[in-house]
A and B are shown apart, each in its own frame.
Chain A
Amino acid sequence: MKLFEYQAKEVFKETAIPVPNSVLIESEKELEQAIETVKTPCVVKSQVLSGGRGKAGLVVFTKTKEDAQAETKRLFSLEQNIKQILIEEAVNIKQEIYVSITVDPYLAKALLIVSKEGGVDIETLASESPEKIVKEPIDMREGLMPYQASRVAYDLGFSKEISKQLKKIFLKLYHIFVKYDAELVEINPLFITQDDTVVAGDGKLMIDDNSMFRQQRFEMQQSDYKSEAEFDAAQEGIPFIEFDGDIGLMCAGAGLTTTVYDLIHYEGGTIANYLEFGGPNYKKAVESMEICLKVPSKVILVVTFGTIARADVMATGIVDAIKRLQPDRPIVTCIRGTNEEEAVKILEDAGLEPIFDTEEAVRKAVKIAQGGSK
């Protein structure tokens, strides 16, 4: 689960990582009071979960109150339906750096990543100028040691004054990484101000979804999701991504769903949504189809090849879903795996035409989507 900037900064503040003064607003009316607190110039920051907010014009520096008002008005009226804006004090920046902590799957350690170049996308920096990045592996049984944190700062050539502050921030960041079962905690950019203090310019905290049972502090609200379908899927724990193409995918298994996604593109089709109801969700055919039906599409393509996720159980679920939901669009089914003989019978009895070959099913769905026969 990815947190909003303001939530990450709340955590930073509690942990005593310095952040600029800010006020979160939910309407234009609240701006006046926010500016009284943070003063101008200020930064108007949309709270959305997508990256690249600056480039997209969703984070704007404003010099005057009038500018701030105009930007707030513009952002709140955007089509993407921004719910919250963070009004943040502007900082006199001397330098921007990058810092994050994540997991190194090969080493089986945590990894502190620091770069003297901040504000840019770390993946870009990693591929273009890896020499600018320092990586410090952390044994998670011992945790980040103070000497490591300090060494990283000095190795990057920072002054004693700055290094002392960075060391503290690295240690606190590691504390957050552990406390919140984070996949990633990142400050990008981390500001060094004109008077040599270090302040978090942004905040990213991603909590591992598998650890949510022991991380109950943050819960997503319906308003945090882009659509009702996305919210419903999250509630059910069903992996789901919405696109704007023609074919709704309702497949089982992350790898198979991704492969069907590729095959549709090879055949010249487009995707309306990615939905994966395998693994622990294989009995959720009704819920899954309900979600798929909330997305505009011309056809729903069901592809499965399960072992524990039994074919007969899934076929029964699909037939049940069709009976209950009366879908307004054709369904193409390709259900294989454990007890597939029974699955075929179940589908045929319900008037469906079971297909055994994934590519054939994909071609059929693409044909329907392109206006061909059912």
Chain B
Amino acid sequence: MSIFIDQSTTVCVQGITGKEGRFWTEHMIELGTRVVCGVTPGKEGQTVADRPVYNSVKKAVENHDIEASMLFVPPRFTKDAVFEALEAGIKKIVTIGDGIPLHDMVAIRQKAKEHDAMVVGGNTSGVISPKLAMMGSFPHWIERVYKKGNIGVMTRSGSLTNEVTSMVVEAGYGVSTLIGVGGDPVPGTRFAEFLDMYEQDEETKAVVIIGELGGTMEEEVAEAIKEKRFTKPLVAFLGGRTAPKGQKMGHAGAIISGGKGSVEDKIEALTEAGALVAERPRLVGELLEELNVPKT
């Protein structure tokens, strides 16, 4: 099993006729993703990877049963595209756009909440359940990162995720579902909001979060563990332990976090809740072993 997406999830691709959209749609299908159609205004009648293209999401849902929408849309048009998908009733949306205006992200998250939907991203590679399906831009064929297994991974980062996940794989584990919540200050959906799904998923035996200085997402995870909303083992790796105070480094965190947000604060909150925090990427696998997380 997996969360958010598997081989049965029906996916529509917004921006399917663009260079990036076309390239990654083919890879999504190659992995096993059930892409049913695409949307690009003005391109109705064309096909991409044998899938029909429609002028609007509304038209697409009239013709197909669509559970999720994948956006390959430039950052400045992302708000519009997300709203279109939400209005059409789609509840799972992934947007990889890097550079979405801050105020647009506020509007996106607010609208998604109202529609009881999940928007993943922006500034992310997306969501992947190795060997099953993905929404986003992952080189799923790289075995030393995207190996199937029973560890749930959530991350704010791209390259760092490959670094950490490769260490998890090196230790003999694999990934159930990897979710990139994205590196922007206002992600559409936050770490703690996925914990419930990982908790319910039988296959997932433990969760790894890859966090960073800034914001309060890691503290929210600690809160969920403390309140027993999440009870499986959890290991965190956090970048920016030695970052100078007041320096905006890495992905921008929240601007004013009310005295929270430093890596020390996050370590304290997570440790107190019973999670383990790895000092280096290499140690994440060891800590999973320490928690007796089974490898198969």
Contacts and interface: CB of A to CB of B under 8 A. Distances in A.
Interface of A: 51, 100, 102-106, 108-111, 113, 122-124, 126-128, 130, 133, 139-141, 178, 181, 183-184, 206, 208, 210-211, 213-214, 241, 251-259, 261-263, 265-266, 274, 278-280, 304-309, 336-338, 340, 358-359
Interface of B: 75-76, 98-103, 106-107, 109-110, 113, 123, 125, 137-139, 142, 155-163, 166, 183-187, 190, 210, 212-213, 215-216, 220, 239-243, 246-247, 249-251, 254-259, 279-282
A273 to B, nearest CB: 12
B136 to A, nearest CB: 9
A105 B186 contact: yes
Given A103-B255, A108-B109, A279-B98, A258 B280 contact: no
Given A255-B212, A262-B242, A336 B162 contact: yes
Given A254-B183, A258-B212, A127 B159 contact: no
Contacts of B251: 254-255
B74 to A, nearest CB: 10
B interface SS class = loop
Nearest to B157: A255
20 contacts: A103-B185, A106-B216, A108-B106, A126-B258, A184-B256, A208-B101, A211-B102, A255-B157, A255-B160, A255-B210, A256-B158, A258-B212, A258-B213, A258-B249, A258-B250, A262-B242, A308-B137, A337-B139, A340-B142, A359-B282
A361 to B, nearest CB: 11
Contacts of A259: 160, 163, 239-240, 281
A274 B107 CA distance: 32
Interface centre among A102, A128, A262 (most CB of B within 10 A): A262
B158 A262 contact: no
Given A105-B216, A211-B103, 10 more contacts: A51-B246, A103-B255, A106-B220, A208-B101, A253-B160, A254-B183, A258-B239, A309-B158, A336-B166, A337-B159
A109 B101 CA distance: 14
Nearest to B162: A305
A185 B75 CA distance: 23
Contacts of B186: 103, 105, 108
B250 A210 contact: no
Contact of B103 (A178, A253, A278): A178
A304 B106 CA distance: 31
B102 A183 contact: yes
A241 B256 contact: no
Contacts of A100: 256
B159 A306 contact: yes
Contact of A181 (B75, B101, B109, B279): B101
A360 to B, nearest CB: 11
Contacts of A104: 254
A362 B41 CA distance: 48
Nearest to A256: B159
Contacts of B185: 103, 105, 183
B259 A123 contact: yes
A161 B287 CA distance: 61
A234 to B, nearest CB: 14
